[in-house]
Chains A and B, each alone.
Chain A
Amino acid sequence: MDYLRQNLKKWFGFDDFRPGQSEVLAALNQGKNTFGMLPTGTGKTLIYQLFGLMIKKPVVIISPLISLMQDQVDRMRYLGSKNTVAITSNLNFIEKKRILKNLSKYSYIYISPEMISQSDILESFKKLDIGLFVIDEAHCIVQWGTDFRPEYLNLHRIINYLNNPKVLMLTATASKKVRYEIVDKLGLHNVKNIVKSTNRSNIMLSVEYCDDSNDKNNKLLSLVNKLRSPGIIYFSSKKMANMVTIFLRKEAHLRVEAYHSDLNNENRYRIQHQFMDNQIDVICATSAFGMGIDKNNIRYVIHYHMPSNIESYVQEMGRAGRDMDESISIILYQKNDEILQYNLLMDNIPDDDMISFYYQNYNKLDNNDEQTKLLKYYYDNGYSKDDVTNIFQARRLEQKDSLAEMLSYVLNNHCRRKKLLTHFDEAFDDHNEYCCDGNHTKLNLQASNLIRSNNDKIIYKDNYDWHSIINSLFNKLH
């Protein structure tokens, strides 16, 4: 057994790496800055977790998903790395000070680009002997992150300032062009690229064309009744997620729960873990609300509304089939669905009037909506009104293009996988009845074991007696 696999066995108990993991680790071991493009579900976390254990120096992880950072910390701790911390704006002054003072005691430190740009924090990191500087979801550098935050552009300077620690860029979704841009923006040289196919061959691809919303709901109903659970349905709005939850509970006799930002922390925890524990069959989620857990056996991901770009689609449908069993991704498309997406996208970007208004009334405004916060960010960082107008104009065009690409995937009638992989500069020519329903192909769901059978009984919770609940909580059942 080679050195890396010995370590894998020692720390995690696995015999073998997933595709790409060991190559990335080998490149890092040789001291190279490394770009890892590995498909969704291949355990990118394990790479830096294992590397950190091997070099016994702190690993810093730049993560764009502020809302998911605490989840990532919890997951690392769950996986055995207890010395993990997230530095987020949720920390109060004293907590932040305490963490910064003890920074070297942590093995894994998650932080957003915003936070590490703050001078007191940056100074604390400079004193640290950083073993690895990870940029998670590296495609955000080019796409300005999920909320198009320009801080990502600072990372170049930050890496230099921190005496050029070894950098690992990770993503599941970046075309050749995007990969090149990322490395360029970070000012890195001699980068070792480990690029694996984006293709998730165990996820069948399907698009169902619907006449109207009634037809869409009926198609959805027949899908969830037919397909083996568990599954996720993605929506663009909380309201629709709630409505379809109620509809499916009534019509499908499945255990269905809505999952979006209206849930408080506590209920969010309950639903995530009930889902993990197979106490829920279907989750109706909004795409914006991330899931902090990794569930392996999700059999289907349905998009009730088309995603707004290919990258999001690949991320979301990539939640299916992490156990490598056959799974399916279905987009329900109704004519003009893209207009809904377009409007949602444009609503998120301040228009020219709003920009002018903001720059004229900067002192008088105190509302806290997302758009105002965004404008405040640019204003505070010295961008002029014209700069900002141009930036947002460019952003609008970019998003429009991305949506058009997504639409062209949805409307494509040939092999869907070929079309999807083309976006990532990959060739594909293996279309068959397990690939996709393009080319007038009927997917073979039966042979893929994706059809619900009579054995798939749903067990409803029936224990509500407090004595037995408390006894089971404290291991007193016997």
Chain B
Amino acid sequence: MNKKLLLLMLSNKQPRRLKLIKNLLDGKKTVSTLFWGSRYHMLDYSGIMKHFDSIKNEDKIINELIKYGYVFPYDKYQYKLTNKGKTKKDSLIESFYLPKELSYGFDYDIEEFKSRFLLLIQVASEYSYNNSSYYPVQADFYDTNLIKAFFHKHKNDNFVDKIYNIINSFLATLDKERASIFANLMIGHDNYGLTYEQLSKQYNYSQLEIYFINIDLWILLIRFIKNNSSFLKILLKNIVKNKINESAKRTFNELNSGLKISSIAKKYNLKESTIKEHLLENAIFLSATEFPYNKLLSTANISYLNKTYLQQPIDLWKFSKLNDSNIDFFKFRLYQIMRSK
């Protein structure tokens, strides 16, 4: 992981777990990762490192940050920024490129979309030169067939001009630098674009920042197609996904229709603990009014929990304080999420 990125992910007010940040950026989706990700206000960044270098050397990097005086260990697992670290972070926010277009509610399958789009551009580009003998960029079987079928359906109907116009109007919405970077990602007739490393030298960004710029560009294009181009809508098939996964959503609907946790578990042949995880996942992503907390926490539960915890900051609540009650960890975490909203 990059030093600057880790510094940006830490805070001077809130101690944060190093392992958790790593898991979140790598795209781990356990309830605990998601919960703490939301506590850190970092849920948007979930999975952003998945297609770059996986994070391996976070311990080494944190030690370097400590050595520079930017960070101090709060306890065995958590770290905080020093004042010097906070100043550094403030200046990095100005200079380091972090993705800006990520969405709270949606995951974009950028890799899949990119491979479709690059193939489409190549097909159109070679077609515009009447060349049918070339090495296609690699896409999986499904995407190759998708683009092939699309091309054969439309190739006699101003195909090249349509694509050309869409690209041009998309690039016109971007600043000059990002438009140029995007153009240099395209592959086509006698054009092979630039690698991340070559882009990083040309535009004076680190490779990680180039990767982040890429993420933004592809998301912007996805949104552009969604709003402006019915012609290319086919490229978006299965690309935009709700952050709450399908089975968790199903569980949520069953709860709303009146089923109890135990009945949902039985109906779908799942463990109760899995159903509870589904519900927590929903609670994390939904707003306070969208999630029916009162179906799962009784008034008595809530007043007991209020009495036990309300005097303390949420991050510091300990489940062990509930040893004498009949409130389980699920209800404790759910209450914690409710109070976080």
Contacts and interface: CB of A to CB of B under 8 A. Distances in A.
B144 to A, nearest CB: 10
A70 interface: yes
A192 to B, nearest CB: 33
A265 B187 CA distance: 13
B287 to A, nearest CB: 37
Interface residues of A, number: 36
Contacts of A469: 180, 183-184, 186, 191
A74 B135 contact: yes
A241 to B, nearest CB: 13
A294 B236 CA distance: 35
Nearest to B122: A473
Given A70-B138, A78-B134, A474 B128 contact: yes
B137 interface: yes
Interface stretch (B76-84, B160-168, B289-297): B160-168
A95 B141 contact: yes
Nearest to A255: B198
A277 B137 contact: no
Contacts of A473: 121, 125, 128, 186, 188-189, 191
Contact of B187 (A92, A264, A269): A269
A475 B128 contact: yes
B129 A475 contact: yes
Contacts of A194: none
B184 A464 contact: yes
A470 B191 CA distance: 10
A279 B179 CA distance: 23
A465 B182 CA distance: 11
Interface string A446-470: 0000000000000000001110011
Contacts of B138: 70, 265-266, 269
B190 interface: yes
A74 B186 contact: no
Contact of A269 (B121, B160, B163, B192): B192
Interface in B164-208: 164, 167-168, 171, 176, 179-180, 182-184, 186-197, 202
A369 B189 CA distance: 39
A353 B133 CA distance: 52
Contact of A270 (B124, B168, B192): B192
Contacts of B322: none
Contacts of A70: 138
B133 A80 contact: yes
A89 to B, nearest CB: 13
Interface in A250-297: 257, 263-267, 269-271, 273-274, 277, 279, 292-293
A464 B171 contact: no
Of residues A70, A91, A464, which shows the largest number of chain B Cβ atoms within 10 Å of its Cβ? A464
B142 interface: yes
Given A74-B136, A78-B133, A469-B186, A271 B128 contact: no
A269 B182 CA distance: 17
A470 B183 CA distance: 7
A267 B187 CA distance: 11
8 contacts: A78-B133, A267-B195, A274-B192, A464-B180, A470-B168, A470-B183, A472-B191, A475-B189
Q: Across chains A and B, which 10 residue pairs bring their CB atoms closest together, nearest first? A: A466-B183, A475-B128, A469-B183, A473-B188, A267-B195, A273-B192, A474-B164, A466-B179, A95-B141, A473-B125
Given A469-B183, A475-B129, A475-B160, 17 more contacts: A70-B138, A75-B135, A77-B136, A78-B134, A264-B51, A265-B138, A266-B118, A266-B137, A269-B187, A270-B187, A270-B195, A273-B192, A466-B180, A466-B182, A472-B189, A472-B191, A474-B125
